[in-house]
Each structure stands twice: as C-alpha cells, then as structure tokens.
C-alpha cells in the first residue's frame, strides 16, 4: 500500500518491484518478505537485475544474501538465500574474485 507523506506518495518495496515487473510484462510469483525491508540502495540492485534475470548480492541486516531471480513464462520469482546457502547450492565460482 502506497504511503502518503506531505502530499508525496511513497511506494513500499513490493510496489516498486511490481512497477518494474509491470514494465517487463511480468507478474510476481514467489516473493520473499526480506525484500520488503531492503534499503533503497539494495532494492535498486534487485530492480536492475530483474531485466537480465541475474542473481544479485545484497546486504540485509549487515549480512550477505543473494536474491535469486527466475522468470518462468510471464512470472518472476524472488528467493533470498544467505551467501553460504547460495555457495552450498551452486558452488563458489561466483565469488572467486572476493
């Protein structure tokens, strides 16, 4: 639900993601509530990655996570894994330069 603050309408994170999904002609499928609490900086990483269906590294409560973005048909899914879970599932190739 959009918030109104001093005549300015502010969208929550899910609404911002939905706006981008609409632009891409997609609807949101799987959703993780951690995305709702992301800072503007971290949320912008997710929004940029949506178009390219890239997994993206984020910080949430000072911990490293990865948002997995999958598009199946006209639906976009968002899953959040800790960096450790991501490495256990897919290997550490993504982080070889770290």
pTM of the model: 0.86
DSSP one-letter code for 96: T
What's the rounded mean pLDDT across residues 8-12?
80
Q: Answer yes or no: are the C-beta atoms of 80 and 34 closer than 8 Å.
A: yes
* SS3 at position 94: helix
Give the pLDDT score at 6.
Answer: 59
Give the pLDDT score at 22.
Answer: 97
């Amino acid at each position: 639900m959009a918030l109104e603050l001093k005549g300015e309408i502010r969208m929550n994170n899910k609404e911002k993601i939905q706006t981008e999904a609409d632009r891409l002609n997609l609807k949101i499928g799987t959703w993780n509530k951690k995305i709702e609490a992301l800072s503007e900086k971290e949320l912008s990483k997710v929004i940029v990655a949506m178009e390219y269906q890239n997994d993206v590294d984020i910080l949430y409560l000072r911990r490293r996570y990865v948002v997995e973005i999958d598009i199946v048909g006209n639906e976009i899914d968002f899953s959040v894994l800790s960096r450790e879970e991501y490495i256990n599932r897919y290997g550490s190739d993504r982080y070889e330069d770290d």
